[in-house]
Structure 1
Amino acid sequence: MQQGRIIFLVVLTTIFLLLDWYVFQAVRTVWHDSPPTTRQRIYALYWSISVFSVLSVLSYNFLGTEWATWKTLSIGFTFVFFVSKLLVAVVLLIDDLGRLFRWTAQVAVSHGSNTQGISRSEFLSQAALVTAAVPLATMSFGILSGAHDYRVRRQQIYLPNLPKKFDGIRLLQISDIHSGSFFNKRAVQGGIEMILNEKPDIICFTGDLVNNETKEVNDYIQLFEKLKAPLGVYSTLGNHDYGDYRAWASAEDKRKNFEDMLLAHRRLGWRLLLDEHLPIQVEGEAIALIGVQNWGTGRFPKYGKLHKAYQGAEEYPVKILLSHDPSHWDAQIRPEFPDIDLTLAGHTHGMQFGIEIGDFRWSPAKYRYKQWADLYREGRQYLYVNRGFGYIGFPGRVGILPEITVLELRSGRA
Structure 2
Amino acid sequence: MLRWIFFLVLFIIVDIYAFQAIKTVTKNNWIHIIYWLISLLVVGNFIYNYYGFNRSDGFNHAHAFAFGFLLALVIPKMVLLLGMFAEDIFRLPQAIYRYFAHGDTAQGNYFPSRRKFISSMALGIAAIPLTSIIYGIYRGKYNFKVLKYTLTFEDLPQAFDGYKITQISDIHSGSFDDMEKVKYAVNLVNEQQSDVILFTGDMVNNKADELRPYVDVFNKLHAKDGKYSILGNHDYGDYATWSSEAAKHQNLEDLKALQKQIGFDLLLNEHRYLEKDGEKIALIGVENWGTGGFKQAGDLKKASQNIKAADFKVLMSHDPTHWEKKVIPDDYHYHLTLSGHTHGMQFGIEIPGWFKWSPAKWRYKYWAGIYNEMGQYINVNRGFGYLAFPGRVGIWPEITVIELKKGTPTA
Q: TM-score, normalised by structure 2?
A: 0.89
- The equivalences for 1:241-390 within 5 A come to 241-314=235-308, 317-364=311-358, 365-390=360-385
Partner SS state of residue 222, structure 1: helix
Once residues 59 and 215 of structure 1 are traced to their aligned partners in structure 2, the CA distance between those partners, rounded to angstroms, is 25
* CA apart distance, 1:262: 2.0
How far does the alpha carbon of each residue in 1:150-185 deviate from its partner, in whole angstroms, 9 at most, with x for none? 111112222333333322221110111122322322
* CA apart distance, 1:404: 0.7
1:72 aligns with 2:64: yes
Structure 2 residue identity aligned to 1:204: L
* CA apart distance, 1:22: 3.2
User: Which one is further off, 112-121 or 336-345?
Assistant: 112-121
Q: 2:214 aligns with which of 211, 217, 220?
A: 220
Unaligned runs of 5+ in 2: none
Tell me if structure 2 keeps the 8 A contact 1:56–1:75. no
Once residues 100 and 251 of structure 1 are traced to their aligned partners in structure 2, the CA distance between those partners, rounded to angstroms, is 60
Tell me if structure 1 keeps the 8 A contact 2:169–2:381. yes
Once residues 411 and 137 of structure 1 are traced to their aligned partners in structure 2, the CA distance between those partners, rounded to angstroms, is 46
1:159 aligns with 2:172: no
1:24 aligns with 2:19: yes
* CA apart distance, 1:194: 0.4
Once residues 225 and 310 of structure 2 are traced to their aligned partners in structure 1, the CA distance between those partners, rounded to angstroms, is 17
* CA apart distance, 1:243: 2.1
* CA apart distance, 1:111: 4.9
Once residues 130 and 92 of structure 2 are traced to their aligned partners in structure 1, the CA distance between those partners, rounded to angstroms, is 30
Distance of aligned partners of 1:55 and 1:252 in 2 relative to their CA distance in 1, 3 Å threshold: farther
Structure 2 residue identity aligned to 1:183: D
Once residues 90 and 373 of structure 2 are traced to their aligned partners in structure 1, the CA distance between those partners, rounded to angstroms, is 53
* CA apart distance, 1:322: 0.1
How far does the alpha carbon of each residue in 1:38-97 deviate from its partner, in whole angstroms, 9 at most, with x for none? x32x23422232123223323442489799334323321221111001111222233345
Once residues 47 and 216 of structure 1 are traced to their aligned partners in structure 2, the CA distance between those partners, rounded to angstroms, is 37
1:58 aligns with 2:47: yes
Q: 2:36 aligns with which of 28, 43, 47?
A: 47
Once residues 394 and 228 of structure 1 are traced to their aligned partners in structure 2, the CA distance between those partners, rounded to angstroms, is 30
* CA apart distance, 1:371: 2.2
Q: Match of 2:401?
A: 406
Once residues 215 and 58 of structure 1 are traced to their aligned partners in structure 2, the CA distance between those partners, rounded to angstroms, is 27
Once residues 41 and 117 of structure 2 are traced to their aligned partners in structure 1, the CA distance between those partners, rounded to angstroms, is 28
Q: 1:209 aligns with which of 179, 198, 203?
A: 203
Q: Match of 1:124?
A: 118
Partner SS state of residue 131, structure 1: helix
Partner SS state of residue 335, structure 1: coil
Q: 2:7 aligns with which of 4, 12, 17?
A: 12
* CA apart distance, 1:205: 0.5
Tell me if structure 2 keeps the 8 A contact 1:163–1:317. no
Q: 1:233 aligns with which of 224, 227, 230?
A: 227
Q: Match of 1:93?
A: 85
Tell me if structure 1 keeps the 8 A contact 2:196–2:227. yes
1:393 aligns with 2:388: yes
Partner SS state of residue 211, structure 2: helix
* CA apart distance, 1:315: 6.7
Identity %: 41
User: Which one is further off, 180-189 or 78-87?
Assistant: 180-189
Q: How many residues align?
A: 403
Tell me if structure 2 keeps the 8 A contact 1:107–1:113. no
Once residues 230 and 188 of structure 1 are traced to their aligned partners in structure 2, the CA distance between those partners, rounded to angstroms, is 22
Tell me if structure 1 keeps the 8 A contact 2:168–2:200. yes
Q: TM-score, normalised by structure 1?
A: 0.88
* CA apart distance, 1:114: 4.7
RMSD: 2.5
* CA apart distance, 1:10: 4.0
Tell me if structure 2 keeps the 8 A contact 1:354–1:361. no
Once residues 294 and 380 of structure 1 are traced to their aligned partners in structure 2, the CA distance between those partners, rounded to angstroms, is 24
Tell me if structure 1 keeps the 8 A contact 2:309–2:332. no
Unaligned runs of 5+ in 1: 1-5
